[in-house]
Amino acid sequence: MLEKKANVLDLVGVGIGPSNLSLAALLAPLKQVSSCFFDNKKEFQWHPGMLFSNATIQVSYLKDLVTLVDPTSKYSFLAFLANQKRLYRFATAQFPSVKRREFNQYFQWVSQNLGNLQFDTPIVNIHHDNGRFIVEHPKGVEYANNIVLASGLTVKIPEFVKPYISSTVFHAINYMELKSPIAGKRVAVVGGGQSGAEVIRLILSNKSEIPESITWITSRPNILPIDNTPFVNEYFFPSYSDHFFKLPKEEKARLIKDQNLASDGINVDLLNDIYRELYELELIEGRGKICQFLTNQSFVGFEKNLNGWGLALQDKNTGEMKEVEADVVICATGFEYQPPSYLESLLDRIDVADDNFIFGDDFSVKWDGPKENKIFIQNGARHTRGVSDPNLSLMAWRSAKIINGLLGGEIYDINNESTALDWQNEPEGILAHNGYDHHFDF
Ligand SMILES: Cc1cc2nc3c(=O)[nH]c(=O)nc-3n(C[C@H](O)[C@H](O)[C@H](O)COP(=O)(O)OP(=O)(O)OC[C@H]3O[C@@H](n4cnc5c(N)ncnc54)[C@H](O)[C@@H]3O)c2cc1C
């Protein structure tokens, strides 16, 4: 049960992306919990720099903010469609995948219907004093017994590229904001995952702005599809996440590598679109070869030269070096979890192992403060929960775990969901006896 203190909220959330929006939606019926969530954006926007008109979500629309935990919630995607009077047309349209723009509209609708979200409020510092957290923002402070941090991932971009970030060198996540005209230019796209492929399709489909050439660079041996076949998809099930959580750390690291294409491969429809666009441009329209594919390449250096940008590449198999020149360079080089800067005052109180926070089963991290004051982290546990952690699939379930952890009971019944494979069969005694994900003496 929650201990109530005057002027102290039970929970303050940092960031209102899908993760904390899901948590806020599942908390809404629980009137006994006082909470408030903050985001620095002016309104809800889901990765606006990549909200391309033809981009689709990579999961079923049932993997929305709430449905897999509470199908009766009024904050489901289907409830949104019904509210917007588009349910019949949606059912008839039978989209193979829902557009990301429509999911963004859904998220925005939920955000407008919850009363405890404050936008335009960046959190700048959090410290702990006198049995509560003090959460600071430019308009004042909030006091909280517990905090939930869901401020997103940080872009991964090679250090040697960072000094040159501009309208001609940028990360894919900033495409809509930073992109300069590319007609007739030489464009290099670095990264062979979903983001890189989405950028390539966008470039190829805009017939009024076709570049002189595209070089698509990847460290992978080919342009590879996502594996979302049914048995592999069980990596995105609650019991697999729980199973994974209990494995030894070396096994976790190996599996995360092995399972990369289950989360970071490219949608098959998207691959087909790109292949057909290239066929049309290069062969039917007779423009000749537009796109050069450089596979097995490590991106090892970068410079400005007289003709534009020079990218130094090294073949992963042969070690052979080559240089590619481009006028515009788009890094679709992924994301990683970094402790947020607003956490600096608390960082030396949070336990770390192998550069990662140590997570409990309820997504709270181990720290030296009172056990009634929990620090939950969303979308920061890939190292210990597996490839599903940044994905939408287990978002509602993770929110429910957090709520159960916060209230100390089975508020949401999230156990014993059926699976085809037998993930419950964990090796005996692997989970450290203290309930954390790490064998640690403390
Ligand atoms: C382009 C793109 C498409 C994706 N599509 C899919 C998909 O189809 N299916 C899928 O399963 N996964 C997808 N993902 C992965 C994942 O689902 C999303 O990244 C998702 O947005 C993660 O949600 P989040 O709430 O954890 O983080 P974010 O969405 O990054 O939200 C974090 C929020 O915190 C705010 N914030 C940051 N710092 C502060 C601060 N100091 N104070 C206040 N607010 C702050 C940010 O403004 C932001 O609004 C996609 C990822 C990307 C990048």
Same domain as 135, residue 179: no
Tell whether ligand 1 has an atom less than 6 A from the beta carbon of residue 56: no
Residue showing tokens 């329209």? 285
125 CB near ligand 1 (under 6 Å)? no
**Whole-angstrom distance, CA of residue 62 vs CA of residue 60:** 5
Is the Cβ atom of 157 under 6 angstroms away from ligand 1?
no
Q: What spacing in Å lies between the alpha carbon of 22 and ligand 1's midpoint?
A: 12
Q: Ligand 1: does its nearest atom lie under 6 Å from the Cβ of 399?
A: no
Question: For residue 293, which phi and psi values (nearest 5 degrees)?
Answer: -100, 125
CATH code for the domain of 393 = 3.50.50.60
The last residue of a domain, from among 317, 335, 353: 335
Query: Ligand 1 pocket, 391 CB below 6 A?
Result: yes
Q: In one letter, which amino acid is 60?
A: S
Fill in the amino acid letter for 86.
R
Is the residue at 433 inside a domain? no
Examine the domain organization and report whether 115 and 47 are in the same domain. Answer: yes
For ligand 1, say whether the CB of 150 is within 6 Å of any of its atoms. yes
What's the CA gap between 429 and 425, in Å, rounded? 12
Three-state SS string across 46-67, please?
Answer: CCHHHCCCCCECCCCCCCCCCC
CB of 122 within 6 A of ligand 1: the answer is: yes
d(CA 326, CA 372): 55
Taking alpha carbons only, the member of 187, 191, 221, 219 closest to residue 204 is 187
Please check whether residue 244 lies inside any domain of the structure: no
Q: Is 68 in the pocket of ligand 1 (CB under 6 A)?
A: no
**Closest atom, ligand 1, to C-alpha of 392:** 11
Dihedral sign, CA of 365, 250, 337, 198?
negative
Q: Whole-structure pTM over 0.85, yes or no?
A: yes
Query: Is 30 a member of any domain?
Result: yes
Count of C-beta atoms within a 10 Å radius of residue 69: 23
277 and 327 housed in the same domain: yes
Q: What is the pLDDT along the chain (442 residues), one digit of tens a residue?
A: 677 777 999 999 999 999 999 999 999 999 999 999 999 999 999 999 999 999 999 999 999 999 999 999 999 999 999 999 999 999 999 999 999 999 999 999 999 999 999 999 999 999 999 999 999 999 999 999 999 999 999 999 999 999 999 999 999 999 998 887 899 999 999 999 999 999 999 999 998 999 999 999 999 999 999 999 999 999 999 999 999 999 999 999 999 999 999 999 999 999 999 999 999 999 999 999 999 999 999 999 999 999 899 999 999 999 999 999 999 999 999 999 999 999 999 999 999 999 999 999 999 999 999 999 999 999 999 999 999 999 999 999 999 999 999 999 999 999 989 999 998 655 544 444 445 664 333 2
Could you identify the atom of ligand 1 that is nearest to the CA of residue 379? 26
Residue 14 beta carbon below 6 angstroms from any ligand 1 atom: yes
Residue 127, in any domain of the structure? yes
Under 8 Å between Cβ of 92 and 82: no
Q: How far apart, in Å, do the first and last CA atoms of the chain sit?
A: 26
Q: Which of 146, 142, 166, 139 lies closest to 308, judged by CA?
A: 166
Q: How far is the centre of ligand 1, averaged over its atoms, from the C-alpha of 46 (Å)? A: 7
Q: Using the mean position of ligand 1's atoms as its centre, give its distance from the Cα of residue 210 in Å.
A: 30
Specify the pLDDT at position 1.
65
Beta carbons within 8 Å of 228's beta carbon, 6+ residues apart: 58, 262
Q: Do 197 and 342 lie in a common domain?
A: no
Label residues 146-155 b or e (16+ Cβ within 10 Å = b): bbbbbbbbeb
Question: 180's torsion region: left (phi>0), alpha (psi -120 to 50) or beta?
Answer: beta
Beta strands 213-217 and 291-294: pairing type?
parallel
List Cα–Cα distances, 381 to 109, 361, 388, in angstroms: 28, 11, 9
Task: State the pLDDT at residue 152.
Answer: 98
90-94 contacts at long range (C-beta below 8 A, 24 or more positions apart)? none
Q: Are residues 197 and 324 in the same domain?
A: yes
The reply to whether ligand 1 has any atom less than 6 angstroms from the CB of 378 is yes
Share of the chain above pLDDT 90, in %: 92
Same domain membership, residue 52 and residue 141: yes
The CB of 270 under 6 Å from ligand 1? The reply is no
The alpha carbon of 66 and the centre of ligand 1 are apart by a number of angstroms equal to: 16
Domain boundaries, position 40: 9-153+337-407
Q: Is 243 helix (H, G, I), strand (E, B) or coil?
A: helix
| Judgement on whether residues 342 and 320 belong to the same structural domain of the protein | no
Contact (CB, 8 A) for 404 and 398? no
148 CA to centre of ligand 1 in angstroms: 15
Q: Is the CB of 152 under 6 A from ligand 1?
A: yes
The predicted pLDDT at position 439 comes to 39
Residue 63 lies in a domain: yes
Domain final residue, candidates 335, 352, 367: 335
Q: Is residue 254 a part of any domain in this protein?
A: no
Please work out whether the CB of residue 98 comes within 6 Å of at least one atom of ligand 1: no
pLDDT at 240: 96
Both 123 and 168 in one domain: the answer is no
* Residues 22, 87 within the same domain: yes
Whether residue 274 lies inside any domain: the answer is yes
Q: Are residues 141 and 168 in the same domain?
A: no
Protein residue with its CA nearest to atom 50 in ligand 1: 391
For residues 125 and 196, membership in a common domain is answered with no
Q: Whose CA is nearest to atom 52 of ligand 1?
A: 47
Nearest atom (ligand 1) to Cα of 18: 25
Could you say which of 295, 314, 335 is where a domain stops?
335
How many domains is the chain partitioned into structurally? 2
Mark whether 327 and 385 lie in a shared domain: no
CA distances from 320 to 13, 291, 299 (A): 49, 21, 12
Q: What is the rounded distance in angstroms from the CA atom of residue 438 to the CA atom of residue 363?
A: 13
pLDDT at 3: 76
Kindly state whether residue 441 falls inside one of the protein's structural domains: no
